[in-house]
Amino acid sequence: MPKNNKNIPVNTMSDDFSGGISIDRIHIKKTDFKSAEEYEQSTQSHRDEGYTFHIVEKGSVLIEIDFQKYIITAPAVVYMHPNQVHRILEFKNITVGSLAIKNESLNPDYLKFLEEIAPAKPLLLTKEASSTVAAIFSLCLHFSVQKNNKLHRPLLKDSCNTLVAFLISQFLNQHKPESHLSRFEIVAKGFRQLLEKNYCTIKRPGEYAGLLNISTPYLNECIRNATGFSVSQNIQDRIILEAKRLLHHTDKSVKEIAFELGYVDYPYFTRMFAKATGMSALSFRSKNHD
């Protein structure tokens, strides 16, 4: 269990990346770690600062993203939203190209897409796509070390945005084009975006319906059609996910977590968590730290 840890650990960029872009290609094998403690530290759960892409070029890795496990074999790409918590569970010798980029360095149009596609499952790349990704990534890496170039910053920023755009396009290939979405799906998409921003403060379906300028019954009809569940269930599921993250990855008390998620009525929160998960919050924490 985390010790004296009131927040989920965040993998921050060093001062070398003050421009809000971190890019590197790393080769990892277990023998690189000098001790079990060093290995454990490198595989601890964390969030990333910025929107992050991990491009698995060689080898395979078992990762956990928000309590879901994925076996990833090259060539593949993993996209992490800043809210997501993840860790490496196991790996063989791997080569990974990583790009982390903050809001201020992103093309605003791409930022919108990055919010829309999250959470995204790891994506297996085709041979052609993998070749394109490798070429763009190598260009980004090349520009990242040319710090004496007078146009170093725009060259790095623009090349990295090109990589982001291409990777987004690969994830979007899994989804319907915007023009092919039904009215229900368009409403559900808007609801998900609002929910992600407001789940701690807005709990009532009617408030989301108001923000979308539609009636509450119609919102419920759209969300049930798109997800199979009610608006209330979707709101609760998002809150429960964040509660699980905080219970597992921090040592905040259940009362502190309830308050952080917008519940002044602590007993109500504990009852809701138990009903949703089949166990108390403390039991969940204990089970996941065995």
Q: 56-71: per-residue pLDDT in tens?
A: 999 999 999 999 999 9
Angle at 144 (CA atoms; ends 131, 148), nearest 5 degrees: 140
Q: What is the mean pLDDT of the chain?
A: 90
Angle at 60 (CA atoms; ends 58, 63), nearest 5 degrees: 130
Whole-prediction pTM: 0.85
Q: 200-254: per-residue pLDDT in tens?
A: 999 999 999 999 999 999 999 999 998 999 999 999 999 999 999 999 999 999 9
Identify the H or E element spanning 196. Answer: helix 183-198
**What are the structural domains of the chain?**
10-172 (2.60.120.280), 180-288 (1.10.10.60)
From the list 45, 66, 38, the residue with the least C-alpha distance to 1 is: 45
C-beta separation of 208 from 192 below 8 A = no
The highest-confidence range among 3-17, 27-41, 69-83, by mean pLDDT, is: 69-83
Distance CA 236, CA 244 (A): 12
